[in-house]
Amino acid sequence: MKISIIGTGYVGLVTGTCFSDTGVNVTCVDIDEKKIENLKNGIIPIYEPGLDRMVLANVEKERLQFTTSLKESLEQAEAVFIAVGTPPGEDGSADLSHVLAVAREIGKHITQHIVVVTKSTVPIGTAKKVKAAVQDELEKRGVEIDFDVASNPEFLKEGNAVEDFLKPDRIVVGIESEKAEKIMQKLYKPFTLNGHPILFMDIPSAEMTKYAANAMLATKISFMNDIANLCEIVGADVSNVRRGIGSDTRIGNKFIYAGAGYGGSCFPKDVKAIIKTAQQYNYRLRLLESVEDVNNDQKMVIVSKILKHFGNVKGKTFGMWGLSFKPQTDDMREAPSVVIANALIKEGAKVKAYDPVAAEEAHKILGDTIEYGKDQYDALIDTDALILITEWPEFRIPNYKVMEKLMNEKVIFDGRNIYDPVELKENGFTYYGIGR
């Protein structure tokens, strides 16, 4: 079986690599020549655990290719996956220009039946537009070639993307023909063997599923952050409340951790986009509008705590542990650390940060407005407080003795509630968490 994947970002690269690992012949396409050249030499543009080894192994076995030629990649392919970016436009709606440009290119070059699969997160109704774009190009060529469209949203978590692809909670595929269903079934069979379900449905429902899933998860987080803020006011501890409600199987114990707000490439963008889609149909998603509001405010909660503690932070220096929007990734998109660092700098403070992998990405956004420590303790030298933003495992059991020697003041602002307030107090630290 042969397939083509257009776009070698997180989604395209993980998808292509994981399919090739099952023996499928995969060609990954990107317009970025440098990126393709690097990939051919085994240089991976992103940090994703397990991915580099898998790319190399499959390139070696000659079942994973990289090219800039979309046309070549389509030869004998049974399916082509569109996995290019859909950045938010100025009004928050997803910008489909890349997706539709790829659809047109496909229409220009196909010579046999193919399933055109949208993998990128796209608004409801996009598969229809993809179909029209391909059809339009075929008509311009004056040829009649049978093709299908399908929608196959991804549910990959950054930092765990390979694992999520190999062992999916579910695979969602929107189809409108049996032929497309058969091809998608064949392609995904290796991943469904251990009881991981593949759910076929109509295309609009598949497109909606992606947004509804992310919006629901974002809602859980904002809900907990809102409750956390109230916990503080009434003297409750949100960690206990989380355990209390999480043991109710109807609620579940995942994604109910209060913190510095959600970030990343998906939740902020997708929540905005679904609100926008609703507006286009004259419907207001009031709940999600609040989810977004709460999240924007939540990124500043820690700054408020800092200002309250110090009164004035002019001339103070803060050690910051963690920059990426979550652990196990170097992704800085919508990272709360940026909002927090900028707010502190604006108040006249200095920030010294350390992140196990995201410093380089962070530098692209924050530049030299902050200092970058060599390691987590280097980032604490002469600081007036530690701010924990990203819960990387290595930050979980800090060496209090070392910290005491390095810091001017023993204060910790724990943006992810990973520390035990009692233990910190015993070690002489002033502790601030979220909602406790």
* Range in contact with ligand UDX (rule: CB under 6 A) among 78-86, 110-118, 261-269, 428-436: 261-269
Catalytic residue among 18, 28, 231, 266: 266
For ligand UDX, which is the closer residue by CB, 160 or 205? Answer: 160
Q: DSSP of 21-89, one letter per residue?
A: HTT-EEEEE-S-HHHHHHHHTT--SS--TTHHHHHHHHHHTT-EEEES-HHHHHTT-SEEEE-----B-
**Minimum distance between the CB of residue 217 and ligand UDX, rounded to whole angstroms?**
6
For residues 304 and 285, give the distance between their C-alpha atoms in angstroms, rounded to a whole number.
29
Interaction residues for ligand UDX, span 294-333 (CB under 6 A) = 325-326
For residues 323 and 409, give the distance between their C-alpha atoms in angstroms, rounded to a whole number.
22
> Of residues 266, 323, 349, 411, which one binds ligand UDX by CB under 6 A?
266
Decide: is 262 part of the binding site for ligand UDX (CB under 6 A): yes
Centre a 10 Å sphere on the Cβ of residue 311 and count the other Cβ atoms it contains: 7
For ligand UDX, which is the closer residue by CB, 100 or 266? Answer: 266
Interaction residues for ligand UDX, span 200-219 (CB under 6 A) = 214, 217
> Of residues 165, 267, 392, 432, which one binds ligand UDX by CB under 6 A?
267
300: amino acid identity, one letter: M
Is residue 231 part of the annotated active site? The answer reads: no
Looking at residue 156, what DSSP letter applies? P
For residues 153 and 355, give the distance between their C-alpha atoms in angstroms, rounded to a whole number.
31
* Strand residue runs (E) in 146-285: 147-151, 171-174, 198-201
Which residues neighbour 277 within 8 Å (Cβ) at sequence distance 6 or greater?
Answer: 93, 123, 124, 211
For residues 174 and 181, give the distance between their C-alpha atoms in angstroms, rounded to a whole number.
9
Only one residue has tokens 């020697």, namely 405
The H or E element containing residue 353 is strand 350-354
Applying CB under 6 A, what is the total number of residues that bind ligand UDX? 19
Decide: is 155 part of the binding site for ligand UDX (CB under 6 A): yes
* Range in contact with ligand UDX (rule: CB under 6 A) among 80-88, 150-158, 174-182, 396-404: 150-158
Decide: is 263 part of the binding site for ligand UDX (CB under 6 A): yes
For ligand UDX, which is the closer residue by CB, 123 or 264? Answer: 264
Decide: is 414 part of the binding site for ligand UDX (CB under 6 A): no
* Range in contact with ligand UDX (rule: CB under 6 A) among 92-100, 154-162, 198-206, 271-279: 154-162
> Of residues 48, 78, 148, 154, which one binds ligand UDX by CB under 6 A?
154
At residue 155's C-alpha, the angle toward residues 90 and 125, to 5°, is 50
For residues 141 and 311, give the distance between their C-alpha atoms in angstroms, rounded to a whole number.
70
**Minimum distance between the CB of residue 350 and ligand UDX, rounded to whole angstroms?**
25
Provide the total of helices (H) and of strands (E) in the chain, helices listed first.
Answer: 16, 14
For ligand UDX, which is the closer residue by CB, 183 or 366? Answer: 366
> Of residues 259, 319, 356, 433, which one binds ligand UDX by CB under 6 A?
259
The closest of 356, 296, 302 to 324, measured between CA atoms, is 356
* Range in contact with ligand UDX (rule: CB under 6 A) among 54-62, 250-258, 418-426, 428-436: 250-258
For ligand UDX, which is the closer residue by CB, 395 or 429? Answer: 395
Decide: is 255 part of the binding site for ligand UDX (CB under 6 A): yes
* Range in contact with ligand UDX (rule: CB under 6 A) among 105-113, 143-151, 264-272, 286-294: 264-272
Footprint of ligand UDX (CB under 6 A): 154-158, 214, 217, 221, 255-257, 259, 262-264, 266-267, 325-326
Give catalytic residue positions.
266
